[in-house]
Structure formats: C-alpha cells, structure tokens
Amino acid sequence: MTRTIAKDAKRLVIKIGSALLTNNGAGLDRAAIDGWVEQINQLLMQGKEIILVSSGSVAEGIVRLGWKTRPESIHELQAAAAVGQMGLIQTYESSFQRFDRLTAQILLDHDDLASRQRYLNARSALQALINLNVIPIVNENDTVVTDEIRFGDNDSLAALVANLIDADLLVILTDKDGLYTANPDQDSNATLISEAMAKDTSLDALAGDSSSGLGRGGMVTKLQAARLAERSGCSTVIVGGRNNNILTAVAAGDNVGTFLTASQQPLAARKQWLAGHLQAKGQLQLDAGAVKVLSEQGRSLLAVGVTAVKGHFTRGDLVSCVDSQGQEIARGLVNYNSEEAGRIKGKSTESIADILGYLEDDELIHRDNMVINS
C-alpha cells in the first residue's frame, strides 16, 4: 500500500546532493547527471511533473577555482557557489537538451518562502513553468544566504519546495541506499529500513552525519526534510542515487530505499493548515452566485462574484469570504491586495488587465488555497 503512493504520485520533487553530483571531488559527474536526466525524461513522458532541487554549486566552484579543499570562510564558499552555479546549470541544460527539454534556473532562500507574498509569487512562477513543460532546477541562493552552506545541503529547501507546489512525493537521492538500523560502513549487520512514518522520532537515533567533505547534509537533515514535507501531506523516499534506473524504480513503486509516509494527503493537509493556523486579515463579501459556486461546487473565487472588500491585506494574506448576511462561507489566500481587489470586484477576469494594467492570476482565490466551511 505504501509504495502505491509513489507509483500514483504525479508531482515529484527530486533532490540530488553534492556527494552524488561530484566525481570524487573532480568536478561534476556529467555521466551520472546524464543518467538521472534520462530517467527524468522517462518520467515526464509518463505524465509526471518534475521539479529538480540540485546541490553541487559549491563543490563545482571549488574545482573551477582550483582549490584543493573546501574553505572555511563563508564568503569564499559564497564565491565558490556563484562560480559553480554557472557550470551546474550549463550541465543540466545541455543534458536536458538531448531530449528537447527546456530548463529554468530558480534560486530561492527560506525568506522567499516565509513571506506569504513571495511564497505565492514563487508558487505561481513554478506552476507556470510546469504548465509550459519546463523543468525547474532549484538551488539555494548562496550569494545572499549562508544557512544551507553551513548546514543543510538543500535538504530542507527541497522539502519547502515540496510544500510550496503541493508535491505528492519528495525523492532525496543520496550516497547511501537509505536509512539503516546502524551505520552500514561500520556495522556489517546493519539492515535497510524499508518503510516508516515520517513523524517517527525513534528514527533520529539511527541517523548519522554526511560521509562526504563536499556536502553538508547527513541523514539527520534528510529526516528533518521528510518531516517538513510531511506537514503538507508529502511522503518522502530516501534512496541511493548511484543505483541503476533508481528514479524510474521509485516512480514504479518498487521496494527501494526508505519510504517515509506522510500521515495525510497533500490537499487535506493544506486545507487543515488554512483552516486552523492563520488569522484572517480581511473580508470579501460575495454575491449569491459566488456563494453557491463555492459552497456546492468548491470552485475558485473570481472577482466577478465579489460585491465588497473590507480590511487591509496584501497578496498572499488569508481573507474570509462571507455572504450578504456576514456568514463565513470560506477562507483562503488572496491573489490581490485590498486596493486591487476593491478595483476589480464585480468585474470579469478578462477585464482585470485593463483595470490594473496587469494580471496576477485569473482567480481572486484559487480553490487549492481555499477551505470551504462545512
């Protein structure tokens, strides 16, 4: 049953770490990258949606700069990341071009995802790329943020991206086959843990540090990432990236790696978060038609169905949707600020660009960012 989740997953975030990407410290392992890209192309042909989160810029930059060891200075590491990012993206782009696939570079940091407005902007951009059949390649913006350089090797970033775009499955490729009962390099009796719940804290004692001097993420950060992904209902597979056809095996539901199951489905988790963890910043009053569409059909809220706007809110804030009597019908994350919403209320989607001079989104609130009151 658990592996059926992986087989049925439509939207996958795939994270590849530095230890896998570098050829024993001699620069990017282009043959390995070509292999993963070929498998990703196969998944895309099966109708899967793929977002790639890739480390490796620091490690590649160290090689390009001719340094023999990883420097201790954060500023030198930032410089290495900037230099290495060029080679990393070039390598991915040329590899995907073999299959006539377009790629896009996305540099994010945790602040981008902590701000609700920037969160929605990033979400919309990634969704647009997916709709255009472009493969987003995400990395930490290491020239302005240093936390991942110090600690994470992009594990937590991959989980946040999974939250951001409502992924069904997070696949973390690592230099180990998964999570073991003990360190397999030191204990010949260590056995692979096939399945567990992501929130199982007893797993913490089994996680060790990274064996590579190039990356900074051990199993500890991968478990943390799995729990972060679990918040939005996304399950995680931690699996050995050097195994043949490993991505296609994961997507087929094969018993590979360690599968960490989320306790609920992605959309249900998102709705629960919207319902209970945010305070409404404003209010949208709806006409009878909009109330019926939301209540009975669960569709997105369009500006044409809004009769009044109350409160001061920005794009990405939570607002309450009420009927003419003030009874709350739904609540959700709004795509326009209060001033914009006031200008486009009662207007058709087609007229928004003429009124505002731009079109952020077709909907005032998308149904995936809305919870309907029962």
Q: Please tell me the predicted confidence (pLDDT) of residue 19.
A: 81
Q: Please tell me the predicted confidence (pLDDT) of residue 293.
A: 92
Q: What is the mean pLDDT of residues 4-14?
A: 93
Dihedral angle, C-alpha 85, 89, 90, 93, nearest 10 °: 180
pLDDT at 110 over 50: yes
Bridge pairing between strands 235-240 and 169-174: parallel
Identify the helix (H) or strand (E) that includes residue 308.
Answer: strand 306-311
Q: Do both 205 and 102 map to the same domain? A: yes
Q: Please tell me the predicted confidence (pLDDT) of residue 211.
A: 47
Q: What is the mean pLDDT of residues 112-124?
A: 79
Which residue would you say has higher pLDDT here, 22 or 97?
97
User: Domain containing 68 — which CATH number?
Assistant: 3.40.1160.10
What is the chain's mean pLDDT, rounded?
87
Q: Which domain holds residue 86?
A: 2-266
pLDDT class of 212 with cuts at 50, 70, 90 = very low
- Tally the C-alpha atoms within 13 A of residue 130's C-alpha that lie toward its C-beta: 19
pLDDT class of 207 with cuts at 50, 70, 90 = low
Q: How many domains does the chain have?
A: 2
Highest mean pLDDT of the ranges 26-35, 178-187, 246-255: 246-255
Q: Do both 291 and 169 map to the same domain? A: no
Q: Do both 261 and 345 map to the same domain? A: no
Q: Please tell me the predicted confidence (pLDDT) of residue 213.
A: 41
Which of 242, 266, 290 finishes a domain? 266
Give the burial class of 137: count Cβ atoms within 10 A of its Cβ; 0-12 exposed, 13-18 middle, 19 or more buried. Answer: buried
d(CA 174, CA 217): 9
Which of 232, 266, 300 finishes a domain? 266
How distant, in Å, are the alpha carbons of 13, 43, 45, 252 from that of 38?
16, 9, 11, 16
Q: At what angle do helices 155-164 and 116-131 cross, to 10 degrees?
A: 80
d(CA 40, CA 229): 21
